[in-house]
């Protein structure tokens, strides 16, 4: 049985739009998750080790103030389009759209004010919480009024994240959660003692600005590679697994999405102070971001990210936590 509680977490400053940020806590016998109405952020995720001791395994901040400052998308839902769009532009039906350039020459994770930086409307559902927002036509340069629902449900050691969307105009959509994990416990110095296993038939080479070159390569022997993976196996059974031998904790990721960004915190540099005053150093966490392929809107041979009027975007990612 999952317990769901809610409380105020803080209030956004006027320059950030104001409004009260709430925190929802989902609690089972083996997992406890805290989720904010700001950016659908997973602010804490506690899970057991082999001895039954809980530890928080995601990076983040103790207070709202940390999340209103610049940070690398800790725990947030990013969109409309996760990852990068080359040169921040694309063309649909003969019309060119221009996006904010917030990552060198490219647009990243929805632009300057993406889904991670706005308040969502919450609704308690059985065993979880559903968030909704309307992204208006033209927001961050994207076409169409986009209705978006993100639902978190917890059953035992399984946290499911479902993403649904509908649009009034054809628009690219690719949503993901950007949690940073360290199964030894957030604040641990690095992830060098973790084992990562990813089932994928290919990976996407990228250029100097991290835009896919357009081709793919076999992924059977890519240990340690940081990149996007595009499994050809049936998506719902595609698996990624991380394990920390010292604690016995493991995380298995299943998804209906066609790809994955495996990121090892290369851009963390110790300057951010997180929960408990921990300094988040390079390689102190990893991300397993289930998503479509980057820049797919500009590469017709990639799995499409286009959502058309009358159609439904509907993807689920399952995070399964265990200890042995």
Q: What is the pLDDT of residues 165-209, one digit of tens each?
A: 999 999 999 999 999 999 999 999 999 999 999 988 889 999 999
pLDDT of residue 17: 84
- Domain boundaries defined on the chain: 3-323
- The distance of Cα 254 from the centroid of its chain, to the nearest Å, equals 14
Told to judge if 178 belongs to the known catalytic residues of this protein, a careful annotator would answer yes
The residue-averaged pLDDT of 268-293 equals 97
The residue-averaged pLDDT of 101-129 equals 97
Neighbours of 209 (CB within 10 A): 12
Catalytic residue among 109, 178, 194, 244: 178
pLDDT digits (tens, 9 = 90+) for 55-82: 999 999 999 999 999 999 999 999 999 9
* Residue 49 near residue 247, CB atoms below 8 Å: yes
Start-to-end CA distance of the chain, whole Å, equals: 22
Q: Is the pLDDT of residue 226 over 90?
A: no
Does 71 show up as a binding residue in the annotation?
no
Provide Rg for the chain, Cα atoms: 19
Catalytic residue among 46, 140, 252, 289: 289
Does 135 show up as a binding residue in the annotation?
no
Does 83 show up as a binding residue in the annotation?
yes
pLDDT of residue 124: 98
Identify each DSSP E strand in 121-248 by its residue range. Answer: 121-125, 128-135, 146-155, 158-167, 171-172, 176-177, 194-198, 202-204, 217-218, 228-229, 238-244
Q: Which fold has domain 3-323?
A: Beta-galactosidase; Chain A, domain 5 (2.70.98)
Dihedral sign computed on CA atoms, order 101, 105, 110, 114? negative
Told to judge if 289 belongs to the known catalytic residues of this protein, a careful annotator would answer yes
pLDDT digits (tens, 9 = 90+) for 133-158: 999 999 999 999 999 999 999 999 99
Does 180 show up as a binding residue in the annotation?
yes
**15-19, 93-97, 251-255: segment of lowest average pLDDT:** 15-19
Does 315 show up as a binding residue in the annotation?
no
């Amino acid at each position: 049985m999952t317990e769901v509680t809610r409380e105020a977490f803080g209030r956004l400053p006027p320059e950030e739009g104001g409004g009260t940020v709430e925190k929802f806590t989902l609690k089972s016998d083996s997992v406890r998750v805290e989720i904010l109405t700001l950016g659908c952020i997973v602010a804490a995720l506690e899970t057991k080790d082999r001895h039954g001791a809980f530890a928080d395994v995601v990076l983040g901040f103790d207070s709202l103030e940390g999340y209103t400052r610049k940070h690398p998308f800790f725990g947030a839902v990013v969109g409309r389009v996760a990852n990068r769009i080359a040169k921040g532009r694309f063309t649909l039906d003969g019309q060119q759209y221009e996006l904010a350039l917030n990552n060198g020459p490219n647009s990243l994770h929805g632009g300057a004010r993406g889904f991670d930086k706005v308040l969502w409307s919450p609704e308690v559902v059985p065993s979880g919480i559903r968030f909704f927002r309307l992204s208006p036509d033209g927001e961050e340069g994207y076409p169409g009024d986009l209705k978006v629902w993100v639902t978190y449900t917890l059953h035992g050691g399984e946290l499911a994240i479902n993403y649904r969307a509908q649009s009034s105009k054809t628009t690219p959509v690719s949503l993901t959660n950007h949690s940073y994990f360290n199964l030894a416990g957030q604040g641990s110095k690095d992830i060098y003692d973790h084992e990562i296993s990813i089932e994928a038939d290919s990976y996407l080479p990228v250029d100097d600005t991290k835009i896919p070159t357009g081709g793919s390569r076999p992924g059977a022997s890519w240990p340690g590679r940081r990149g996007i993976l595009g499994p050809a196996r049936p998506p719902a059974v595609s698996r990624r697994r991380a394990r920390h031998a010292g604690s016995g904790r493991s995380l298995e990721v299943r998804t209906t999405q066609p790809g994955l960004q495996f990121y090892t915190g290369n851009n963390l540099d110790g300057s951010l102070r997180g929960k408990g005053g921990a300094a988040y150093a390079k390689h102190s966490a990893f991300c397993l971001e289930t998503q479509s392929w980057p820049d797919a809107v500009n590469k017709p041979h990639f799995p499409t990210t286009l959502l058309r009027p009358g159609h439904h975007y509907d993807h689920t990612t399952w995070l399964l936590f265990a200890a042995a």
